[in-house]
Amino acid sequence: MTNSTNNQQKGLIFACLTAILWGFLAIALKVAVTEIDPITVSWFRFSIATIFLLVFIQAKGKGELGSLRIFPWLAVVAAAGLSLNYIGYIAGIEMTSPSNAQIIIQSAPITLGIIGIFFFKEKVSKRQLVGIAIAAVGFYFFYLNQLDSQAVSGQSVYNIGSFYVLLAAICWVVYAVCQKVLVRTYPVRAINFILFVFSTFALAPMVDYQSIFQMSIGMWALMLFLGLNTFLAYSFLGEAFKYADANKVGIIITLNPLITIFAMTVLAYIEVSWITPDVLSPQGFISALAVIAGAILAVKSK
């Protein structure tokens, strides 16, 4: 087996680990917001991720933070986008469901692809246009299916929650565009450090600290998992892009909503009490597959 093949396999393993972490992240967030408000959860994620990242950078001993002597002010915009993405996404999960949020958030990579066409002058193929069209149709029918599954009194809550997820997707695109520009000059981990630190301090005034000190041991474990998930997912993603083709990595990452949908179905089947059951109907599942398939076609450059 050649070294190139080994690298590809190593990269795809990292991509799978990222997809698994993000697949279970939505479920963990849904459980967390039953006791802690979205802003406090987001602040905790950034705080823990900052600590883990700082320890990792120091352990590597490569002096990556030294590249920040000339401060990249665009990173502040990226950090604002990422902070609002976290808050909007978890607020959307709180008002709808993990599966719903995971499908709607797929509008982010599609929007990024469209921006790439107009702002970064990237070439677009007919297949990518077909992918965007398929995803748009899938979004429409998925939305109708989810709306019909709500009680009349819950439809307005569902609409607001879905709107929050859409805003989160737009904010993620702002972050991703800035990141795309910044990584041309600065190391990825150094940029991530700025993002995590800025977001931690930006959210700090709005945190409900009293709720943190009142958390049970189980909730502390869950919050630590969320912070570790944030650090590991972005670290694994960076390693995946380092070793494997971006197209292959992108496809695996885009499939992560299927992990959430499968996990939520299993949890509903075994009738756990700590999360609201969430099983897609056959029509909803087909619409979700259309969104994911369209997203893959839209982001795949080759």
Query: In this predicted structure, what is the pLDDT of residue 111?
Result: 80
Q: How far is CA 233 from CA 18, 284, 296, in A?
A: 5, 28, 20
What Rg value do the Cα atoms of the chain yield, rounded? Answer: 19
Q: Count, in order, helices (H) and strands (E) of the chain.
A: 13, 0
pLDDT tens-place string over residues 75-113: 899 999 999 999 999 999 999 999 999 999 988 877 877
Confidence of residue 121 (pLDDT cuts 50, 70, 90): low
Confidence of residue 286 (pLDDT cuts 50, 70, 90): very high
pLDDT at 1 over 60: no
Mean pLDDT for the stretch of residues 200-227: 92
What is the distance between the alpha carbons of residues 163 and 161, in angstroms, rounded to a whole number? 5
What pTM, to 2 d.p., does this model score? Answer: 0.86
In three-state secondary structure terms, 237 is helix
- Residue 232 CA to chain centroid, in angstroms? 13
